[in-house]
A and B are shown apart, each in its own frame.
Chain A
Amino acid sequence: MSNISSDKIVDTVARLCVEANYFLGKDMLQAFKNCIEKEESETGRDILNQLLRNAEIAEKEQVPLCQDCGFAVVFLELGTEVCIDGSIVDAINEGVRKGYTEGYLRKSILADPVKGKNTGDNTPAIIHTTFVPGDKIKITVAPKGGGSENMSEVKMMKPADGIEGVKDFVIDRVLRSSSNPCPPTVVGVGIGGTFEYVAFLAKKALLRNIGDRNQDPFYADVERELLQRINDLGIGPMGLGGRTTSLDVFIETHPRHIASFPVAVNINCHVARHKSAVI
């Protein structure tokens, strides 16, 4: 058994909210650089260069990369031998409140989906918990912007649609999204499980770093093929035409019911934020 104080959780979540919004991952910066070399469109190269400069400014001046500082999506890997002095949910929300307020991050959450009213502190967080062996907690904060989230979709496909059906659905979803999710994007795909779980898989896929392939060579090949096909759509940076539409495609899978074939596409923008800590 290990004891973890709720204060420690509050501080860690607050720090991760701020760091995720200020500091873009090195993998993303490298991906921008690689794409600038390959991009055929001058407008496209211009935009990719702007994204690099934007990340430099955000890091140096400690300001958010994008004004949409996202919904605070928190992934918890909770060790079963951990003991916490209080409510972990309260601690996480307190951390979000602290991070978004002290970090000058934009608060974008409405208390009621229909009746509105901004909660004023970007709470509540969306929390996904998995239990793991051990006496530690791994916390990942992945703030998610609205523009790209709005271009996501879940589809209950027919088992007969198979992998080709999945590919066509992903391509169609990206094509219909066009410029809206702020390309170059990162595309998360969930296959299998149930209606709600497949959406979680697609979101979880977005936590990978650029270039991290699925362990299963079959899905790794599908990821590569989808990335090629997406970039052949010509949508380009900010949708203004070019060869860089997505930086990577990540697939996560789960066993499914014999009668069901759920597929989900969760699109992330080039401000692909996720920061983790183990406490």
Chain B
Amino acid sequence: MSESIKITPPISDDVIMKLKIGDRVLISGKILTGRDSAHKRLYDLIQAGKSLPVDIEGQIIYYVGPAPAKPGYVIGSAGPTTSYRMDPYAPLLMEHGLKGMIGKGVRSQIVRDAMKQFKAVYFAATGGAGALIAKNIKSARIVAYEDLGPEAIRELEVEDFPVIVANDAFGGDLYQEGAKKYRR
């Protein structure tokens, strides 16, 4: 396996086209968070032709609902949540410029097709490694939907957040390929 690839949002199509399933990637810079309720709100706004409270052009959304921060910490444990719950909303967000998603678990065929069509990538972070991932988060601030508590949209500043390309913009799927390779 090769060295880790370092990326910083906003992500261009050139960067997307260099990423292949199985690549180790370290993300630094600013990323957004969002899960079920926030996704529904963004989706509804786009459907209604209204503008979004955050700019998603070239951005990465991390599917996470962190634990509360202890005093002196910027955030509590913050591992990925299961991504398939965001599947109904993801294609429309990609159509409107979203370039990356971070979560855990397989995506639907519709989402994978949308990644190909709109040139986007899905990264797998290690589910359950919440304490470890929190170490890569340098700051966190709520940028929309504060009323949603852990589900509010936050802007995180991350440094070398370790992820693996699980679905690339070429239709590759590490969940299928990986399991095939190690099946007996």
Contacts and interface: CB of A to CB of B under 8 A. Distances in A.
B102 interface: no
A145 B129 CA distance: 13
Nearest to A41: B182
A89 interface: no
A50 B127 CA distance: 10
Interface in A53-95: 53-55, 57-58, 61-69
B18 interface: no
Given A232-B183, A239-B105, A64 B130 contact: yes
Contacts of B183: 232-234
A54 B181 contact: no
A232 B132 contact: no
Interface stretch (A159-167, A174-182, A198-206): A174-182
Interface residues of B, number: 46
A182 B125 CA distance: 11
Interface in A131-157: 145-147, 150
A58 B133 CA distance: 11
A44 B64 CA distance: 22
B66 interface: yes
B127 A147 contact: yes
A110 B65 CA distance: 15
Nearest to B179: A234
A170 interface: no
Contacts, number: 162
Nearest to B132: A54
Interface string B105-129: 1100000000000000000101111
A106 interface: yes
B134 A42 contact: no
A191 B163 CA distance: 39
A43 B178 contact: yes
A51 B1 CA distance: 20
Given A43-B22, A57-B135, A106 B68 contact: yes
Interface in B73-95: 73, 76-79, 81-82, 84
B105 A106 contact: no
The 8 closest A-B pairs by CB, nearest first: A241-B178, A234-B182, A234-B183, A182-B127, A54-B132, A58-B131, A106-B67, A232-B184
Interface of B: 1, 22, 24, 64-70, 73, 76-79, 81-82, 84, 104-106, 124, 126-132, 134-135, 149-150, 162, 164, 166, 174-175, 177-184
10 contacts: A43-B178, A51-B126, A51-B128, A53-B132, A57-B132, A63-B131, A64-B67, A106-B68, A241-B182, A242-B178
Interface of A: 40-44, 46-47, 50-51, 53-55, 57-58, 61-69, 104-106, 118, 145-147, 150, 178-180, 182, 232-236, 238-243, 269-271
